[in-house]
Amino acid sequence: MNIGEALPRNAQRSPHKLAIVDRRHSLTFLEFHRRVNRLACYLRQQGLAKGDLVALSCGSRAEHFEALFALGKIGALAVPFDFNWSAGECAAMVGFFEPKAFILEGRAENRSLFDLTRGRVDAGRLLAIEGAENLAGSPYEQALERSSPDDFDVEVRGNDPFLLMITSGTTGFPKACSIDHGTYALRCLNYGMTKGMNKDERALMTLPVRFNAGRGSVMSILYLGGTIFIQEKFDEKSVLETIERERITYTMMVPVLCERLLRCEDLGKFQTSSLRYLGITGGHLSLELARNIRKRICPELYEAYASTDCGQITAIGPDDWAARGDTVGKPIWCVLLRIAGDDGRELARGQEGEICVRTPLAIQGYYRNPAATEEFFSGGWCHTGDIGFIDEAGYLTVSGRKKNMVKSGGISVFPEEIEDTLRKHPAVMDVAVIGFKNSEWGEAVKAFVVLNRGAECGADTLIQFCKESLAPYKAPKVVEFLPGLPRTGLGKIDRGKLSAMIRAL
């Protein structure tokens, strides 16, 4: 079982059915399949082979998925980059992964990444999706035009690695989750088993596909033979227009986007009755927000508790919101759930501990990080790093995080990375970053800063300093200045006291 086999199957079964629609393309499964074959053929001509790493930095458009399927077809590994990374972040990632080739969208945000590739790879291994004339890369469309659309065979097995999914690590430097073809295909099939997705689906994706949740949803719909509509940016009115016009049956959002949709003045003007599944990821809905969504947008509201490392873990559906809406539901069909104490032993129901799982949807490990891999699989269980408990009826409640990750707008942000950046500012002596509940973002980032004696610096200056060194969404939303930071007896920052300070406001 491998990812590349899905396209010839769907092209044979439904050649003229729409596969993927974005603002530039409207491709049938046969057209999409042939373009993937052309790209795969071109990459082979450039000497790329099984096991080679290829960097992909591309927004929400069809080429993102052409690249993933083409790389899967030849057995190479895609390493998706985030075009919002700073030049320093890109340099660190290129140095760590050492990709053999680059497929980059010709957008301004990718300029530093294009600059980094010069001298590293031949021009033929730097494909530019638009803008090649200004970026010293080979034009993507020309590469496809001069390559064969015919099928070819490369032995790619289910246990061959397919994708390195980037997820931030608690030390600030990202980890890369390695997932093989068989496991990724099973995650796609899980959309059918857990969500009821099938070849008749007409799905709308507004989440950025450069993140794993959006990317995985699109790949699953294409794998199952459904039609996917991709919008590059979330716009409330455009989303509603598309749902009505295209008779959308499935879409996925994070809580902050639901809030925006509910505030849209035009909400009542559009029909959303075609929706049979509105999925929530990246955070837990409040009972009030869930009630309003079900009443005004779609009664068939589902929320998944999932992670890049483990895949989907639990689900809560329409029948559970009234009585169990404060939980994240029950484990899905293939997940065995366990709550572990600090000593690793299983705790009784109702007791709070680390959420651990056994699941065939889990990754195979972390690329070039054996210590993190061993920690994740410690004791034969996948360790989520989240804290929670299972009630007597089998529902899981997530009550906190063992580590310090902040989930802001559905995106994982790690305080240590921001702290390291802020400490580089000449006015900053000490800093601690934590998350706090926020009605718009779910969680937002706050930095507590201690300035050097005699130094003067404003909050806006430090926020901008972060945006210049990190992806903008990682910058703190709020900065508060303190004369000193609370610390534990061991000298570590007491984040509990900082959180209590926020709750007391």
Q: Which of 69-73, 187-191, 400-404, 459-463 has the lowest mean pLDDT?
A: 400-404
Tell whether the model's pLDDT for residue 156 goes beyond 60.
yes
Any idea how long the chain is? 505
Find out if CATH 3.40.50.1970 is the number for domain 3-233: no
More confident residue, 311 or 471: 311
List, by residue range, all CATH 3.40.50.12780 domains of the chain: 3-233
CA distances for 90 relative to 115, 223, 281, 318, angstroms:
10, 30, 27, 42
Which fold would CATH assign to domain 406-504? GMP Synthetase; Chain A, domain 3 (3.30.300)
C-alpha closest to that of 397 among 386, 407, 383: 386
Mean per-residue pLDDT, 175-204: 97
Looking at the chain, the whole-number percentage of residues with pLDDT higher than 70 is: 97
Q: Give Rg (Cα) of the chain.
A: 23
Number of other residues whose CB lies within 10 A of the CB of residue 375: 12
Residues in CB range of 103: below 8 A, 6 or more apart = 54, 55, 56, 57, 58, 63, 67, 127, 129, 140
Looking at the chain, the whole-number percentage of residues with pLDDT higher than 90 is: 71
Q: pLDDT at position 442, please?
A: 82
Give this prediction's pTM. Answer: 0.85
At 416, list the tokens. 């240590």
Tell whether the model's pLDDT for residue 318 goes beyond 90.
yes
CA dihedral 453, 456, 458, 463 (to 10 degrees): -60
Q: pLDDT at position 19, please?
A: 98
List, by residue range, all CATH 3.30.300.30 domains of the chain: 406-504
Mind listing the pLDDT tens digit for each residue in 169-186?
434 567 899 999 999 999
List, by residue range, all CATH 2.30.38.10 domains of the chain: 300-401
With beta carbons less than 8 A apart as the criterion, state whether 465 and 425 touch.
yes
Number of other residues whose CB lies within 10 A of the CB of residue 393: 10
Tell whether the model's pLDDT for residue 262 goes beyond 70.
yes
Q: Which listed CATH number (3.40.50.10090, 3.30.70.920, 2.160.10.10, 2.30.38.10) goes with 300-401?
A: 2.30.38.10
Average pLDDT of the chain is 92
